[in-house]
Structure 1
Amino acid sequence: MNAPSSAPGSQPLVEAKGLTRVFGHGANAVRAVDDVSFTLGRQEVVTIVGESGSGKSTLARLVLRLLEPTGGTLHLAGRDVTALKGRELRSYWRDVQAVFQDPFSSFNQFFTVRRLLGRSLRLATGTGGDQGETMMTQALEHVGLTGADVLDKWPHQLSGGQRQRVMIARALMMQPRILVADEATSMLDASLRANILNVLGDLRRDHDMTILFITHDIGQACYVSDRVLVMCQGELVEHGPTDQVIFDPQHEYTRRLLADVPRLHENILD
């Protein structure tokens, strides 16, 4: 399938061509991601949707360079980043940050929020002291939290929604160009889920951020994204503007996903 593209005439921020990841060898080989191509435009929200085992999270980890591709290439702003190592890869990780599914497991349980954010900031940028304190407070405010309320709390003292917003704040401090949100709302209840989706929308608008959103819930894709990529058994089977995919699906798999949300407009966040 040809690469789904960003806005016509625009230079994509991210361009993946033929990304492939195979696990195992010979008869036991599994093509978790199979020749997938796509683009991400600047300040665009693109959702990858599919059931468990579809390859969407493996694809996210290829974009994050947490997995090496078996084949294909990945470009950021025209630069091939497929084989980056060492310092160059660490620099890439500042540009491309992630928020994962379980906000509790993302914490070191022996760190307060202040220590967690401060350590991440020092390791990535060398910033500490009063400047670091200001950056932490500002990042928390951007995601709707007050530093005085959460900086000295331990993970178990925060709600699931608060923990996830702290993880987004940690990513935001790195001033990334791209945020990969991999099932970032799946462990939250409906009201907290809506809150996190709104935070992501604010980041796109206020920080010129590109967001790659990974979910099994095509209803959330409708709520948050400009374009939708549908994955099934490692392949990209359908893509297009959100309204086109939702209201005029071309692939049987997409129609099956939509059938699981019979009253889509009323159940986007349920």
Structure 2
Amino acid sequence: MLKVDNVTKVYKVGTFGGRTMTAVDTVSFDVRPGEVVSLIGESGSGKSTIGKMILGLTPVTSGSITVDGVPIQPGKDYYRTVQGVFQDPFSCYNPVFKADRVFALIKESYYPSVPDAEWTERVRSAIQDVRLNPDEVLGKFPHQLSGGQLQRLLIARALLLDLKLLIADEITSMLDASTRIDVLNLLAELKARGLGVLYVTHDLSLGHYLAERTVVLRRGTIVEMGLTSKVFDDPLHPYTRQLLSAVPRLHAPWDDIEPPATCLYHERGGVGGLLEADPGHYVACAQLSDC
């Protein structure tokens, strides 16, 4: 479904844009129907930039992004099948309007001919699908609802479209623990319906909980990628091992990660891009540009 192929994003920076900064460097991965892929990395690694390029919010410098083999073309037809939900749900609502205005905008743009009574029933059904009571959330202003409720309303809005792909960018980072699990379980239910999800996060534990495959990003470059079980149980790149060592564990010491004596990538003859160290498990040079 989604294919990101050798995508690079370069920004002009400095006075009068005299210098450039590469935020994303030749990144390639895909997301299949009914699959959650976690895009994991620390702040500034390029995760959100990739999400914005997929959503057409910022242009690609080079490479290509396609959905069902068709290059992305941001516009009404594209956003009917591809939607994003972001970190701060409050920023997605106009505080002077009631929260259910997001549903009215969907009707105006995509379903103007649907009778009001039928649309109301569709909205109520979508809200119930995200485990909210329509009578408790409709007609409320954003400040009268919790972050978790607002986040789930945004997902309900997406469900009203012919959605194929959801870009979930740090959607649980501002939520409390119990609400966070509710939202993750909701994403798992959507996955079971055939929806593809790119789950952008810096939280490895949540990515491990939800995703079939994991992509680890560092400084805009993929350093490890594969089945989540392989990436987490047998991390090959020292950066991945460093991230995993930073996850708090009860009754276990934190480990210091030392760079490997040899680079697995070059030890096994890797040349350019990623090396398939094991079936479906890819790793980059351990030293990046220094190796």
**If the length of structure 2 is used for normalisation, what is the TM-score?**
0.81
Q: Retained in 2: the 8 A contact 1:230–1:239?
A: yes
Runs of 4+ in 1 over 4 A off after TM superposition: none
Q: Retained in 2: the 8 A contact 1:122–1:128?
A: no
1:161 is aligned to 2:148: yes
Name the SS of the counterpart of 2:89 in structure 1: coil
Instruction: Tell me what 2:40 maps to.
Output: 49
CA distance in 2 between counterparts of 1:27 and 1:251 reads 35
- Cα offsets for 1:225-268 (capped at 9, x unmatched): 0000000000011100001011111111111110111429x9xx
Instruction: Tell me what 1:226 maps to.
Output: 212
TM superposition shift of 1:147? 1.2
1:96 is aligned to 2:87: no
TM superposition shift of 1:134? 1.2
CA distance in 2 between counterparts of 1:32 and 1:217 reads 20
Q: Retained in 2: the 8 A contact 1:118–1:132?
A: no
Aligned positions, number:
247
Q: Residues 14-33 of structure 1 correspond to what in structure 2 (within 5 A)?
A: 14-24=2-12, 28-33=19-24
CA distance in 2 between counterparts of 1:121 and 1:224 reads 31
TM superposition shift of 1:80? 2.2
1:213 is aligned to 2:199: yes
CA distance in 2 between counterparts of 1:125 and 1:18 reads 36
Higher Rg of the two aligned structures: 2
- Cα offsets for 1:165-219 (capped at 9, x unmatched): 11111111113100110000000111111111011111111x3211110000011
The percent of aligned pairs where both chains have the same amino acid is 41
1:40 is aligned to 2:26: no
Amino acid in the other structure paired with 1:195: D
CA distance in 2 between counterparts of 1:121 and 1:223 reads 34
Amino acid in the other structure paired with 1:111: F
Instruction: Tell me what 2:70 maps to.
Output: 79
Instruction: Tell me what 1:117 maps to.
Output: 103
Name the SS of the counterpart of 1:145 in structure 2: coil
Name the SS of the counterpart of 1:29 in structure 2: strand
Unaligned runs of 5+ in 2: 253-291
TM superposition shift of 1:154? 1.1
Amino acid in the other structure paired with 2:93: F
Among 229, 232, 236, the residue aligned to 1:250: 236
TM superposition shift of 1:27? 6.6
Instruction: Tell me what 1:106 maps to.
Output: 92
TM superposition shift of 1:41? 0.9
Instruction: Tell me what 1:149 maps to.
Output: 136
Name the SS of the counterpart of 2:4 in structure 1: strand
CA distance in 2 between counterparts of 1:234 and 1:124 reads 35
1:184 is aligned to 2:161: no
Amino acid in the other structure paired with 2:70: R
- Cα offsets for 1:38-88 (capped at 9, x unmatched): 11111100010000000000001111111110000111111122xx36xxx
TM superposition shift of 1:28? 2.5
RMSD: 1.7
Residues 101-110 or 48-57, more deviating: 101-110
**If the length of structure 1 is used for normalisation, what is the TM-score?**
0.87
CA distance in 2 between counterparts of 1:108 and 1:190 reads 26
Name the SS of the counterpart of 1:113 in structure 2: coil
TM superposition shift of 1:155? 0.8
CA distance in 1 between counterparts of 2:148 and 2:220 reads 30
Among 40, 57, 60, the residue aligned to 1:66: 57
Residues 111 and 59 of structure 1, relative CA distance in 2, 3 Å threshold: same
Q: Retained in 2: the 8 A contact 1:118–1:128?
A: no
Instruction: Tell me what 2:280 maps to.
Output: none
Instruction: Tell me what 1:7 maps to.
Output: none
Instruction: Tell me what 1:3 maps to.
Output: none
Instruction: Tell me what 1:259 maps to.
Output: 245
CA distance in 1 between counterparts of 2:216 and 2:86 reads 20
CA distance in 2 between counterparts of 1:53 and 1:140 reads 34
Instruction: Tell me what 1:8 maps to.
Output: none
